[in-house]
Structure 1
Amino acid sequence: MQIDSPSITALRVAVRRAAHQVLDHPRIFDDPLALRVLGLDADAGHGRSWLDDTPLDRVLRTALALRSRHAEDTLQEARLRGIDQYVVLGAGLDTFACRHAAVGSDNLRVFEVDHPATQEWKRQRLHLAGIAVPEHCTFVPADFERQTLAEGLRLAGFDPARPAFFSWLGVVMYLTADAIDATLRTVAVLPAGSGIVFDYVIDPELMSPLARTALNGLAVRVAAAGEPLRSFFVPARLADHLRQLGFGRIKDLSPEALDARYFRNRADGLRAGRLAHFMTAWV
């Protein structure tokens, strides 16, 4: 991304998440603030570009809605384990903290970690939409390639002596191997019960020819936005690496597994994209 500018990718993600609220029924992911934070009006929006419904648009918005749904489902598992610290890495225009303002009453602290320019842009968007940042949400300005995540969280009031849950969506594929490992190590040394969920792009050698073509197209678009793809993984090797870092329980979900969990019996043909897996790792 550009150093002094908000992430273009974060904006595109937010727009597609908003389009999902209007175009897809039943929704995979329900976000009543998705349109407000962008200043969009569903009733006045039909025929506008943000509601394009090409096959590519359907695939992209479905993938983005799916990853938010899965992350929040997994967060609820963590909450049942008693975890009261939630860290959203690369938060962009994620609205979880604002949608769940009442969670402050049961002591859940939310830490949103992102580039300072993106966070300032988000504050502006929330202000214009009349959406308050709840007291239980703390913005943590950070650059995964240049700053220490643990130090940034500590300064923001995060307690490393208590377990925490992390979501890391749409970020890993843009980082170097060293930056990815630095973040994973930060989570791996937290108390037992801590966990992280993230999506990652599989090694192109494991993809079908059609999926590789789709990946090439995606790579061109994000590179043009200044955010090139950098990292790809073989699922079994990634799972082994996570165990070496200190994670004890690993769960990898393929597109087929995600289809079975979230898209069964849909009449509109929506399904998980074929480029990425979801990984959850618990300490």
Structure 2
Amino acid sequence: MEDATPSRTALGVARMRALHQFSPQAGLFRDPYAIAILGEAAPTAQELEQEDERRRRMRLFVTARARFAEDWLAAAVRRGIRQLVVLGAGLDTFSLRNPYPDLNVFEVDHPATQAWKRKCIANAGLAEPSATTFVPVDFERQSLSAELTAAGLQSTEPSFFIWLGVVPYLTKEAIFKTLSWIAGVPGSEVVFDYSEPAENRDAAGQAALAFHAARVAAVGEPWISFFVPGELAQSLHGLGFDETEDLESSDIAARLSRTPTERTANSGGHIIRARRST
């Protein structure tokens, strides 16, 4: 992503969330602001007819990961968490839908993308939520901890971090620096998604990786970091996380659906929750 240009992939993800609202699986993740925030860029219901299988699977993964993240957040709020940090928020609308009066939300994103998001909110005739603080940060060049602390995050209090659709685009150095900081506060929890390398995937997973990787690379936002599940689990444990849950993409929708969902041996996409409980 160029410094002065909003993220093209953030727009793509937002359009998938909006399109999902028209789909037969809309109950998986309902978002009343997903269409409104896009304005003229919003999809129409007819676009569902143009979805091929790869796009449909990606849409379901994108919406299911959001549903899981918000379900895990609900459990954290019940445990007493009162700070949420949405890393790489894009056009995510949780802050507009926030049902927790005592939850302070910090939205972190690249300055250009965040400015675009705030303009989209205004153009939709929506008010910026009073419980949300917008924090512009370039993950590769600025200190996340310093910027969040300056914005008012209580860095000694546990927080919940939602980090979706971001990790594959960052260097491993930047990824582990962020995870190490999160693990430094007992009680903090992070949910993020990641992809396995091609050699770990079955044929369908390799084809999906090639297809989607080519699309994001074509708009200047290539995937650069991949992880092997067992190795990632060891790294998280080494950072201090003592509780993890890792779901592969072919299991995610099935766990949220009342009907069986088709699956492959290893399609390669994951969502993982990691918590430092002590």
Q: TM-score scaled to structure 2, two decimals? A: 0.93
**2:270 — aligned with what?**
277
How far apart are residue 46 of structure 1 and its match?
4.0
CA contact (8 A) 1:20 1:27 kept: no
**1:227 — aligned with what?**
221
**1:76 — aligned with what?**
74
Change (3 A) 1:262 1:6: same
Determine if the alignment matches structure 1 residue 250 to structure 2 residue 244.
yes
One of 110, 117, 120 as aligned partner of 2:115: 120
- Deviating above 4 A after TM superposition, structure 1's stretches of 4 or more consecutive aligned residues are 269-273
Determine if the alignment matches structure 1 residue 67 to structure 2 residue 62.
no
Gaps of 5+ in 1: none
One of 166, 169, 174 as aligned partner of 2:164: 169
CA distance in 2, matches of 1:54, 1:74: 30
**1:89 — aligned with what?**
87
CA distance in 2, matches of 1:125, 1:256: 33
Change (3 A) 1:10 1:50: farther
CA contact (8 A) 2:135 2:147 kept: yes
How far apart are residue 50 of structure 1 and its match?
7.5
One of 188, 192, 203 as aligned partner of 1:198: 192
Taking only aligned residues, the RMSD between alpha carbons, in angstroms, comes to 2.0
SS in 2 for 1:185: helix
Aligned amino acid, residue 119 of structure 1: Q
How far apart are residue 254 of structure 1 and its match?
2.0
How far apart are residue 37 of structure 1 and its match?
0.3
CA distance in 2, matches of 1:194, 1:151: 17
CA distance in 1, matches of 2:22, 2:198: 33
How far apart are residue 279 of structure 1 and its match?
1.1
**1:265 — aligned with what?**
259
Aligned amino acid, residue 125 of structure 2: G
Change (3 A) 1:80 1:51: farther
How far apart are residue 274 of structure 1 and its match?
2.2
**1:17 — aligned with what?**
17
Any idea what the Cα deviations from partners look like across 1:144-201, whole Å, max 9, x if unmatched? 11111100100110001110000110111111110101110110111x2110010000
Aligned amino acid, residue 258 of structure 1: I
CA contact (8 A) 2:183 2:241 kept: yes
Aligned amino acid, residue 168 of structure 1: W
Gaps of 5+ in 2: none
CA distance in 2, matches of 1:224, 1:74: 33
Any idea what the Cα deviations from partners look like across 1:204-251, whole Å, max 9, x if unmatched? 211001210110111111111111111111101100000111111111
CA distance in 2, matches of 1:52, 1:271: 22
Q: TM-score scaled to structure 1, two decimals? A: 0.91
CA distance in 1, matches of 2:16, 2:250: 22
CA distance in 2, matches of 1:162, 1:78: 13
**1:30 — aligned with what?**
30
Any idea what the Cα deviations from partners look like across 1:56-97, whole Å, max 9, x if unmatched? 321121111111111101101111110000000000000001
Aligned amino acid, residue 269 of structure 2: A
Change (3 A) 1:41 1:214: closer
Superposed, 1:112-151 pairs within 5 Å as: 112-151=107-146
